Homo-oligomer: A and B are copies of this chain.
Amino acid sequence: MYIAASVFINDDELGLHEDYKKWLEGLAPFDASAQRYRHNRTGEDNADAYMKRQVMGREVVVAITKGKLDFGPWEEIFYGEFDGRRAKRVLVKVIGEQRARGTVRSDNDHAPLFDPD
């Protein structure tokens, strides 16, 4: 739920995760200076992380069928942290069926599932 973090769906293949890191670095390179990113005039140096999060997406909406996440082949949910500096927080909401309605909030200090650092 942080603006430098992403929840996305993809394949659990380590080479592919390396590819995403490299590819995102190409699209929005880390640059602590305020020449490339005016946001960094605020004293932060993570403007690139906000660009990366925009490419990877903020949230996913997943169908549930017969009580299970209804994915295509290889699909899994990942958490990406693009400046690698904080505990991950993910909010999960279940809607649509009386029996399944609920809210689960996860706040913890475990390492992100997908950490670009």
Please report A residues at the B interface, Cβ cutoff 8 Å.
Answer: 1-3, 5, 8-11, 13, 15-16, 18-20, 23, 27-28, 34, 37-42, 47, 50-51, 54-63, 65, 70-75, 89, 91, 93, 95-96, 101, 103
Contacts and interface: CB of A to CB of B under 8 A. Distances in A.
| Integer count of this chain's copies in the complex | 3
B56 A59 contact: no
Contact of A23 (B1, B23, B51): B51
A27 B57 CA distance: 16
Contacts of A5: 72
B56 A56 contact: no
Contact of A96 (B20, B58, B96): B96
